[in-house]
A and B are shown apart, each in its own frame.
Chain A
């Protein structure tokens, strides 16, 4: 299995373990090569179709691996750097779904804005592969490489609309603060390596189990920097300042994809690092995460109320959602962890669907994002308005939707862990959340502004329509019958 070349040990590479990533990277390279070698124009929608197909293939591969893990149990591979377990496969499924939905929303947007081209889809696939490496990583340096692959591709995607100043500005802000957080994360990796002698998560865990540190200042510093670095990526308060600007300035389909994929990958890394490597230091990180969760819940909910731009509102609401996921993490139990995973899966559908509607209402130019632009949407486009209302109510946590169950599971886990203040705070922030989501719903069902020049209607292209159907079906169907999803998230935490 292991061949040594001149004293250098080459690990055996199990290609099936990283098949979803290989599919996305392979298709990305092929698309880039074919597009640059051919001079003839390609049929519209081809690249979106190819990307969605690649996402579906990686979804299939992740599902196959998930069944393998269920029957044979988890293991690590490629010199222990990649974990093949239920948790990995869960996030591979979530990220594959994000690629499919993101590509379908982007297709019409890019053609409408005259930005169509293969680069967008290549960057989306590369960033998804980075996010996937982050979630399957069993080594801090692989987490870092995945994080950077994800982030660097997203910096470019944020600035993809070269004609808009907002898009440029979002790209630069994201780039500066993103690299800042990556550097902090890397320094945390370095300190952890110094304190434990390894960057492998399992070996760090084993080292902490087998040794009593006389002075663990370096290790605690490393842990704190790791939490700060990943906290930036998931936009937890107080590391959230980049997110409203970046969400507002980025092209709208990018915002939806970024909100789903970057958040899922950031939490995948954070949860794995805390539970797998630092599980024994629970007493040290649990209070930090609890405080982060509390502040994130409050700031996200309160600042969302005062927003007048729908993309900023959804940015603060996504900060608030990150707070709920942190509540599950702060419980530091199997129930809390599976609650957080459930939340991330259902949030992927809700957020990409919501930004799909925002893309439509933004119309050509991607500029109509004031809340007033939603006045009278129900009269003009009853179905789009109904879907948006459903997705917003699901995000608010209305019963019989997946959003309600997600909030219910993490709060139940917090109650089980006897952190009653955090549970109460989470419920209160959900109440505040209901206010700003309902405000948008009411605007859609009120009369349109009289003087508004109706230059351009809200079009509903087939790709986005498909995303809206999938998102609302998922949100309602699994809100009524959550069993399969709950089992899936639960199995992900068992096979760690």
Chain B
């Protein structure tokens, strides 16, 4: 017994959208960071689901590459955040106002 694959695809799309919107509206840098992870893992879920639907192992092996990349991104991202907010009380993107974009 297994659910129809499209449920997982819709779930992944919803997670991806939540991540994308969260990144754009939330101001806390750590939450923005978690949103990026959510988006990457939504893509992973899509890969795995399609892999099952297509009966092709390729999609599942791609997930490992994505996990490694996500881990590397976490390391660098947290490093940057720590470097910036070492002397500040909170981690809010609004405090970053030297460059006016």
Contacts and interface: CB of A to CB of B under 8 A. Distances in A.
Contacts of A169: 84, 96, 98-99
Which interface class (under 10, 10 to 19, 20 to 34, 35 or more) fits B?
Answer: 35 or more
Contacts of B96: 169, 172-173
A184 B24 CA distance: 13
A325 to B, nearest CB: 23
Contacts of B9: 194
Contacts of B39: 180, 183-184, 186-187
Given A144-B69, A145-B65, A152-B72, A187 B46 contact: yes
Contacts of B80: 155-156, 159, 168, 171-172, 175
Contact of A175 (B49, B77, B101): B77
Contact of A186 (B58, B66, B81): B66
Interface string B31-74: 01100100110111011011001101011001001100100110
B76 A248 contact: no
Contacts of A156: 76, 79-80
Nearest to B56: A197
A106 to B, nearest CB: 20
B29 interface: yes
Contacts of B44: 190
A165 B96 CA distance: 9
Contacts of B36: 176, 179-180, 183
Nearest to A177: B23
Contacts of B49: 194
Interface in A68-116: none
Interface SS of chain A: helix
Contacts of A242: 101
25 contacts: A144-B65, A152-B72, A159-B80, A162-B83, A168-B80, A169-B98, A170-B99, A171-B83, A175-B80, A176-B32, A176-B36, A180-B36, A183-B16, A183-B36, A186-B43, A187-B43, A190-B44, A190-B46, A190-B50, A191-B46, A194-B53, A197-B54, A241-B101, A244-B99, A245-B100
Interface string A171-207: 1110110011011101101110110011100000000
A168 B96 CA distance: 9
Nearest to A156: B76
Given A169-B96, A194-B49, 9 more contacts: A176-B36, A179-B36, A183-B36, A183-B40, A193-B62, A197-B56, A199-B62, A241-B101, A245-B99
B99 A166 contact: yes
* SS of B interface (majority): helix
Contacts of B83: 159, 162, 168, 171
B10 to A, nearest CB: 12
A253 interface: no
Interface string A271-290: 00000000000000000000
Contact of A179 (B42, B77, B100): B77
B65 A141 contact: yes
A339 interface: no
A176 B56 contact: no
Given A176-B23, A241-B101, A190 B73 contact: no
Nearest to A196: B54
Contacts of A198: 58
A373 interface: no
Interface centre among A145, A159, A166, A179 (most CB of B within 10 A): A179
Contacts of A166: 98-99
Interface in A35-75: none
B69 A148 contact: yes
Which of A186, A193, A249 is most buried by chain B, counting CB atoms within 10 A of its CB? A186
A141 B56 CA distance: 15
A241 B101 CA distance: 7
